Each structure stands twice: as structure tokens, then as C-alpha cells.
Amino acid sequence: MAAVSESPVFRATTTAPVNIAVIKYWGKRDATLNLPTNSSLSVTLSQRSLRTLTTASCSATYPAADELTLNGKPQEIQSSKRTLACIASLRAHRKDLEDADSSLPRLSSFPLRIVSENNFPTAAGLASSAAGFAALVRAVADLYKLPHSPKELSRIARQGSGSACRSLMGGYVAWRAGELEDGSDSLAEEVAPQAHWPEMRALILVVSAEKKDIPSTTGMQTTVATSELFATRANAVVPARMTAIETAIQNRDFPAFAEITMRDSNGFHATCLDSWPPIFYMNDVSRAAVRLVHDINNIVGRTVCAYTFDAGPNAVIYYLEKDSDIVAGTFKSILGTSLEGWSGPFYDAVKDVTSGVPLDQVDSRAVDVLKTGLSRVILTGVGEGPISVEDHLIGEKGEILSTL
């Protein structure tokens, strides 16, 4: 420390969360800028369960080309236009600072070395790109000591992966579609912080590996170009749902939140099915989860749980902490604790629960399909936005460390 190198390595490390949309992003009005056809809204999930950890560093001593290592594997950064776009924006902002204040080190001229690791398996089928790009943008912004707010940074992260913009904040996050051609008004903003409604829980049912039919970027382009029902969704249905679910969140009205969530998931998958050729992400296991959620709500006589499905068969079941015994308890009693994932920081509420609703009152076919169709569960809940940490993945001399 006393003998600081003439060419020190500058570092910043952050974690970033996964988010799961309740109003779905599906369709781009501009593919290069990642501008969506409609606004969307998500719940940020706790980084105690799922997180990306990213260290950004730069140094005059590094080789000239920027470097990126993901989960231990060096990436061809030059072939990722999206990564390049994010880095270029961040570097330009740094350069503006340096130009305005000549006392600042010229970090914008140094090569970058970025190392990123997820604590969840890619095979889990969770969209890791949102957490990944949010962490990359937050880490480089911290490295560059940019004064930008999360909302401002969301404009940059959006260019990496649309839904990444929503992972820059915690709690309940809206991505406003915006109207401007340059996308400058297409930003994420916090609708309510995690502390406003901290009781939200999520049980992720990871469906046994099945090849994904079609990547989401290709899928959404197909839907926009071919579904004759899509324009109605984007222009009429979603705007009304955005207003309604923001009200439900403000009022902590779970039944309203749940119904809108489920209907929007169904409507999104309906436009996929209406695409040409048709796109199917849900399978019989997904349908069984849908059935069970409706059965649980019907048996209890109030809405205690809600499903939502992204571009894949995995179900995310939202419920409130107080209904853990009914909701998580039912799934636990069906799936058994030999299935991986009944553990972790959110397990306490369901640890001693052995049953939920009476299983003889739910659809027996759905129970059978679920029993054999899942590879693991993930128990989690609403969480915070990115967090600065000191667990650097790059050492003081620029060497790559790893937690893998």
C-alpha cells in the first residue's frame, strides 16, 4: 500500500439480482437499441438466493483489448455487439468526467478486464442475461465513479439485454417503453422499494431439461411480425395492466397483483402461440403448475398464489410470506424434500410444514405430472438492487480470482 505501483489496477465489484416480470416484455420496436413495444414490470429477486457477482477493473498495464470472463470462460467480447454497446456508453460517460476534471485518472483510456460469475446453474433455465448485464453496467459505472442514478444507468443496461434494465433496482420495477426514437425515455424506475412490500415470496419450479424451442430475441421478433393478436396486447391490454398492477402494488393488494400477473403471463404465451410458426414455451409440466395454482386458490377460497412463465417452461409462483404453509407447503408435500432446492435463506418459513391444501382435492393428473417433471425448486423472495461488495474476482495485480 505504501509502495503504490505507477500503474495500479482499479477495481469495483458488485452483485446484481435476477428479476421476474409480472407484466412481460415481449417485442422490440427497435432491435439495435432494445426498445420494447410495451412497458413491463418485474419483481427483483433476493440476491441471498440468486445473484451475479461481477468485478470490473482497468489498468494501463493490461493488454490493449478489453477482456470479459463469464463463469470461468473468456468471452469473445468483440463479437458481442450488446456488450460493446454497454462498455462504449460507460466509457464515454467516464471520458466526459475526465474532460471536465483533469485531476481524474484517465481510466477511460485503459483497457478493461471484467470477470463475472453466477451463483446459479445456467441449466436452471433462469434468464441470467438480465443479472449479468445489470452487474456489468453497475460494476463498470462504480469503477468509473459515474454519478448516474440507477434509472440513468438502466438506459445503458437496456442495450445489453432489455430486461437487464429492471435488475438495476430492487423491489418492484417498471420499465417504461418510452416513445422517443433514440430510446432516451426507455428507462426502468422503481415503482416501490423492497421495503414497501417485503413479504412477497417466489417459488421457482425448474422443469427438467428440455431444449428451448426458440431464443427469446428471435421469438419476440416472430411474434411482432406475425401475430395478428399482438398489436392488441401491446397497444391496449398491457397499458391498462401496467396501471392496474402499479395500483395493486401500492395497495399491497395480492389478489389483484396475482390475477394481473397470471393473466399477463397467459396473454403473452397466447401471442406466442398465435405467432407463425407458432412458439410454445409452456409444456404439460407448466400446465400442471397452472392447474395446481388455480386449485389451491379455489380450495382456500382466496387468491394466495400466482404463476408466471417466461420464455421457457419453468413456473415462478408468487405468494406472500404468511401463506408459505399453504402455497410452498402444498408444493413441498407433492414434490418431497428429496428434490433439490428445499433449503436456503427462505426455507425457514416452510421448514416444518409437511402439508398444504388436501391433496385429494387437487387435480391428480397435475400432481403426477409435477412429481416427475421437475429437476429442482428455488425458494426466494423480493429483494434489493445491486450491492457493492469487496469480494473481488480480480486481484490487486489484475489476476483473475474465482469463487467457482
Residue 229 found at the interface with a copy of itself (CB under 8 A): yes
Residue 73 found at the interface with a copy of itself (CB under 8 A): no
Could you say which of 30, 179, 181, 210 contacts a copy of itself (CB under 8 A)? Answer: 210
* CA–CA dist 319, 303 (Å, integer): 9
Could you say which of 103, 211, 372, 404 contacts a copy of itself (CB under 8 A)? Answer: 211
User: Between β-strands 67-70 and 112-118, what pairing exists: parallel, antiparallel or unpaired?
Assistant: parallel
Residue 375 found at the interface with a copy of itself (CB under 8 A): no
**Rounded to the nearest whole angstrom, what is the least distance from the CB of residue 244 to a copy of itself in the complex?**
12
Size of the site for a copy of itself (CB under 8 A): 31
* CA–CA dist 129, 147 (Å, integer): 24
| Cα 264 versus chain centre, distance | 17
Where does 184-315 have alpha helices with state H?
A: 216-226, 230-232, 238-250, 254-273, 284-300
User: For residue 170, which of 378, 380, 16, 344 has the smallest C-alpha distance?
Assistant: 16
* CA–CA dist 119, 126 (Å, integer): 12
Torsion of CA 201, 258, 261, 270, to 10 degrees: 120
Span of 42-50, 55-63, 144-152, 232-240 interacting with a copy of itself by CB under 8 A: 232-240
Span of 44-52, 149-157, 257-265, 348-356 interacting with a copy of itself by CB under 8 A: 257-265
User: For residue 18, which of 52, 69, 41 has the smallest C-alpha distance?
Assistant: 52
**Rounded to the nearest whole angstrom, what is the least distance from the CB of residue 37 to a copy of itself in the complex?**
15
Nearer to a copy of itself, 148 or 263 (CB): 263
- The three cell numbers of residue 329 are 407447503
The rounded radius of gyration (Å) of the Cα atoms in the chain is 22
**Rounded to the nearest whole angstrom, what is the least distance from the CB of residue 226 to a copy of itself in the complex?**
8
Residue 228 found at the interface with a copy of itself (CB under 8 A): yes
Nearer to a copy of itself, 72 or 278 (CB): 278
Strand arrangement of the beta sheet that strand 315-320 belongs to: 305-309, 315-320, 200-207, 374-381
Residue 243 found at the interface with a copy of itself (CB under 8 A): no
Residues 263-282 as x/- pattern, contact with a copy of itself by CB under 8 A:
x--xx-xxx-xxxxxx-x--
* Contacting a copy of itself within 170-199 (CB under 8 A): none
Binding site for a copy of itself (CB under 8 A): 210-211, 227-229, 231-233, 236-237, 259, 262-263, 266-267, 269-271, 273-278, 280, 283-284, 287, 290, 294, 365
